[in-house]
Amino acid sequence: MRVRASIGTLAAVGLEGIRMGVKPGVAYLLQYSSGGCSARCAFCTQSSVSRSGRDLLSRVVWPVVELEEILPALPKAFSRACVQTVIKEDFVEEVYEIARSLASYGLRVSVSTTPIPRRDLERLKEVGVDYLGVGLDTASPELSEAVGKPYGYWEYLRFASEAVKVFGVGRVVVHVIVGLGERLEDLVSTLKLIYSIGAKVSLFAFTPVRGTPMENRPKPSLRYYRLAQVANYLASRGLDVGRFLDFERGCLRSERLGEPRELARALLTSGCPGCNRPYYTESPGGELYNVPSEELLPDIGGILSRLSC
């Protein structure tokens, strides 16, 4: 069966001769479709309205491989595989077969998908999927419509809530892209909603890619993204984010945070266990929006001083 694998995944198992400063913590796979995804998301390279090469997802290259050929090598380098879906004919049946194959080799399996029926979620769980990703992406209903998401904002949240009932609290990870044009207040409200239904949040920094309708939109500033990461960290711990953020001025009331050392973990890549997505949204050597390992965490004190009101 044809799939796409991130070039970092292939390098980790010795099939691509590239050097990596940080190895991926998860084997990243993407469903293959010669025409990409039938959805019309304006930011996505796989979208039906994108002119980007179909070997791209964000800024990462995903070569086509035969799943059966790489399966024996994956457990030697990874304990988990993440399968990302595209909307195409019979994609649910195909991802079911991919997940079953991965689990048969002893890998724990995450699947990232658009809304599908509960019975399909239960079938995925039966073959070994233990974490589910949900591509909400946007922080408001209006923005969801504006960027061409295939389902509405509330439908994604309803689906995430239903998925929590299948996989359990903390085992559904909702993807949120920062920098699509949202207000900070809307972003925080969305984060709080996600945690309130028992799901978790995986933050992504919007990355403009040539050939997509949003190719000319700038990447969010690192300062704004750091505010989003801190807000996510606070929301994940059930704290009132509004106590710490000044929405009007877009800054942090850091004197209320107390001991900041643990807060540095807010900058780490968020997602399923082991997920670090190295260089998914930034070039090696550039500024790290999502920090892929604790060894690379910057000085949190300096960051907080730049975020403070």
Domains along the sequence of the chain with CATH = 2-217 (3.20.20.70)
Cβ burial of 86 (10 Å; 0-12, 13-18, 19+) is buried
- pLDDT tens track for 174-189: 999 999 999 999 999 9
The percentage of the chain sitting over the pLDDT mark of 90, rounded to a whole number, equals 76
Q: How far is the C-alpha of 232 from the C-alpha of 253, rounded, in Å? A: 15
The model's confidence at residue 266, banded by pLDDT at 50, 70 and 90, is: very high
Q: What is the pLDDT of residue 309?
A: 87
Q: How far is the C-alpha of 174 from the C-alpha of 172, rounded, in Å? A: 7
Q: Are 246 and 79 in contact (CB under 8 A)?
A: no
Has residue 305 got a pLDDT over 90? no
Largest CA distance in the chain: 55
Q: How far is the C-alpha of 133 from the C-alpha of 85, rounded, in Å? A: 10
Its pTM stands at 0.95
Which phi and psi angles does 130 have, rounded to 5°?
-120, -10
DSSP states along 150-207: SS-HHHHHHHHHHHHHHH-TT-EEEEEEETSS--HHHHHHHHHHHHHTT-EEEEEE--
Terminus-to-terminus CA distance in the chain, angstroms?
54
The token pair at 29 is 């796979």
Q: How far is the C-alpha of 83 from the C-alpha of 111, rounded, in Å? A: 5
The percentage of the chain sitting over the pLDDT mark of 70, rounded to a whole number, equals 97
Greater model confidence, 298 or 163: 163
Q: Are 134 and 156 in contact (CB under 8 A)?
A: yes
DSSP 219: P
Question: Letter for the amino acid at 278?
Answer: P
Mean pLDDT, to the nearest integer, of 207-215? 94
Residues contacting residue 101 through CB under 8 Å, at least 6 positions apart? 1, 67, 68, 71
User: 3-state DSSP call for residue 251?
Assistant: strand
